[in-house]
Amino acid sequence: MPSTAESTSRTPVLARPWVRWAGIGLVIVLLVVGPLLLPEFANQTIARIGVFAVAVLGLNVVMGYTGQVSLGQIFFVGVGAYATAWGVDNDWNVVLVFALACVVPAVIGLLVALAAARLGGLAIAMVTIALPIVGVPLAKRLSDLTGGSQGTSARFTDAPEWTGLYDDQWQLYIVILIAGITFLLTRNLVRGKYGRAFAIVKGNEAVAGSMGISPYRYKVLAFTIASLIGGVSGFLYMVVIQYTSPETLHFGHSIELLASMVIGGAGSILGSLLGGAWYVLLPQITNLIDPNITAMLQGAILLIVLFILPGGLVSLPRLWRRRRGSLSTPVPDQTTPTHDAVIIHTERQDQ
Amino acid sequence: MGTFIQLVIDGLSTGSIYAALALAIVLVNQATGLINFAQGGMAVLSAYIAWALNGFGVPILPAILAAIVASFLLGAIIERYLIRRFEQGDPDTAVVVTIGLLTLITGFCAWVWTYNNRLFPSLFPLETIKVAGAVISVRSLGTIIVIVVTMLLLQALFLGTKLGLALRAVAINPASAAFSGINVGRSLMTGWGLAAVLGAVAGVLVAPQLTLTPGMMDSALVYALAACILGGLSSPIGVVVAAWLIGVLENLAAVYIPFIGHDLKIAVPFILIFVVLIVRPQGLFGRKAVVRV
């Protein structure tokens, strides 16, 4: 097939192994050195991007990869944050606190999923939308655990003396480490056996069933993993922001997470990172432009981006390459295989 | 007993607001297969238009009628120039588009009219009547009557007119509808326009009670969505009944179940949804969607 050969010859540099390893090495060096060089504000912003990138990643597992609309992701982030605060308040070891922040949301997620995964489509969206909506008044009510409307704070991530680091640098390192591991594990999950099962459940439940893959079981699994990752994000939230209140799990944030996921790119690891960046940076940028019209600008920018890139920011290189491809190859019949090959290439770059 | 009747009537009145918004959502869902999160935002914009016209000296009733016409046009324009592009694509993207629209419209209202609460003149006199020991406000009764009349008009439109027949045909099967000579695009625009009109009715009915703010319909939207799921997205009557049920039950639960109280009453519809959906996944009145493999 000439078109395939053509497309491989078009993107050989990025596909070569040594280039990829060099790229990975460069990213690692940047992540290690960056926090030391950047100003405090940049470090804090990057740390917050890490926090919400993990939250978007969790949402992507259940929605982007498994196709189940979840409007409750922020609830699990909030539960993780509250669990962290509670553990720190009771002087638990930090490793135990982290485990608590993962296990509590995962168990709640499992229980919700056992019921919700029986429902299809929009019903699951409504059951999950209930979590943050009921969660806010509930968090206010359970003031013994949560500190009520005042919220609760936990300072446990001041940089230790021996490191000689500033607090923001230390926090950013924690975020990079935990978020990096979470991203790596999730990437392996969705590329492997489970990821393929998720994809079939998303694509066609009847086919999944006929292949011996129980849609119900995999939906529950995806939802539980998403909740667990939400809990990780909640832990990181406390690492960086050190304070949580019922406002943290406001339903509006859940909607924003959903929008960020689609803007970044549904069903994409890199897209989750871009989604996290979008979640944190968009309000800051619109605030810089004109604080009076932030909401309007945010809505307008979101619509413009989706108008140009319905596949999210992650599809930008694909669009660009297709533009260039359509200029250099005038034969329209060959666009379909080229297009497929290009998709494979972009997916490889995600890794 | 007096309190009970009062709570039920008030519940039916707030339930009617949810019902109007829920019907708008069902209308859009039937026509284009997506959930419009901006429906509440559009309703708020309609109410603001009526309020602004009223501020320029137009009497309230003509102002509302003008706002309703404007809403119809706005809904049609949004369908044609924004939603049309996403109708065939990924449904998640389409939902996020409506979220973006909600942010945009809310932001626009906030920019033009600020976040301050605006007093919206009531359509009904602020009097009460005593029935069987219960004090019932004329406003509650009026709200219920307006919604019921709107529903009957809508039902007549869908069942009794050629336009309604075309709209239903497009909802059921756009391709076949197009083959039989129906202008599918224009029908979809009409559907969105009608939904916006329903939203506008809900907006002007709720505005005097809650006072007008850009986020006025946010919680109503959540209740309306809950009513849609509870009633079943394919059944307009079911959705209205579910909306009334939610309105009444949450009022009763807030007063009679001490643990729930006024802050947790928003949990009531969701507990209801949870219980109902476990037993009947298609909703109280919905038809089971049969998927051909």
> Which domain range does residue B9 map to?
2-279
Query: Given an 8 Å threshold on Cβ–Cβ distance, is A137 in contact with B278?
Result: no
In a domain, residue B40? The reply is yes
**CA pair distance B30, B171, nearest whole angstrom:** 5
**CA pair distance B126, B112, nearest whole angstrom:** 29
Q: State the CB neighbour count (10 A cutoff) for residue B229.
A: 31
Q: For A195-207, what is each residue's pLDDT tens digit?
A: 898 888 888 888 8
Assess contact for A250 and A132: CB atoms under 8 A: yes
Query: Given an 8 Å threshold on Cβ–Cβ distance, is A255 in contact with B106?
Result: no
Chain B environment of A294 (Cβ under 8 Å): 107
Assess contact for B164 and B80: CB atoms under 8 A: no
**CA pair distance B50, A9, nearest whole angstrom:** 61
Is B103's Cβ below 8 Å from some Cβ in A?
yes
Is A134's Cβ below 8 Å from some Cβ in B?
yes
Is B160's Cβ below 8 Å from some Cβ in A?
no
Residue B286's pLDDT band, with cuts at 50, 70 and 90, is low
Residue B126's pLDDT band, with cuts at 50, 70 and 90, is confident
In the predicted structure, residue B168 carries a pLDDT above the cut 80: yes
Over residues A233-251, the mean pLDDT reads 87
Residue A56's pLDDT band, with cuts at 50, 70 and 90, is very high
Q: State the CB neighbour count (10 A cutoff) for residue A236.
A: 31
Q: Cβ neighbours of residue A106 under 8 Å, at least 6 residues apart?
A: A224, A225, A227, A228, A231
Assess contact for B3 and B9: CB atoms under 8 A: no
Is A203's Cβ below 8 Å from some Cβ in B?
no
**CA pair distance B258, B139, nearest whole angstrom:** 28
Please tell me what DSSP assigns to residue A142: -
**CA pair distance B203, B215, nearest whole angstrom:** 11
Q: Which segment, A262-266, B46-50, B54-58, is predicted with the most confidence on average?
A: B46-50
Number of domains observed in the structure of chain B: 1
Residue B190's closest CA among B162, B212, B217, B214?
B162
Position B14 scores a pLDDT of 87
Residue that the structure tokens 């996921």 belong to? A261
Nearest CA in chain B to A307: B85
Who has greater pLDDT, A317 or A82?
A: A82
Mean pLDDT of chain A: 81
Cα B2 from chain centre = 29
Q: How far is CA A234 from each of CA A157, A210, A220, A289, B158, rounded to the nearest angstrom?
A: 14, 38, 21, 30, 49
Assess contact for A132 and A254: CB atoms under 8 A: yes
Q: Checking DSSP bridges between strand B128-131 and strand B134-137, what pairing results, if any?
A: antiparallel
In the predicted structure, residue A161 carries a pLDDT above the cut 80: no
**CA pair distance B88, A19, nearest whole angstrom:** 38
**CA pair distance A306, A300, nearest whole angstrom:** 10
Is B226's Cβ below 8 Å from some Cβ in A?
yes
Residue ranges of alpha helices (H) inside B137-263 are: 138-160, 162-172, 174-179, 184-210, 218-231, 236-256
In a domain, residue B292? The reply is no
In a domain, residue B284? The reply is no
Nearest CA in chain B to A254: B99
**CA pair distance B46, B69, nearest whole angstrom:** 9
In a domain, residue B290? The reply is no
Over residues B14-21, the mean pLDDT reads 89
Is A263's Cβ below 8 Å from some Cβ in B?
yes
Q: State the CB neighbour count (10 A cutoff) for residue B104.
A: 22
Position A327 scores a pLDDT of 56
**CA pair distance A199, B87, nearest whole angstrom:** 22
Cα A214 from chain centre = 25
Q: How far is CA A268 from each of CA A58, A150, A344, rounded to the nearest angstrom?
A: 11, 37, 12
pTM tops 0.90: no
What CATH number has the domain bearing residue B129?
Answer: 1.10.3470
Q: Cβ neighbours of residue A217 under 8 Å, at least 6 residues apart?
A: none
Nearest CA in chain A to B93: A262
**CA pair distance B98, A299, nearest whole angstrom:** 10
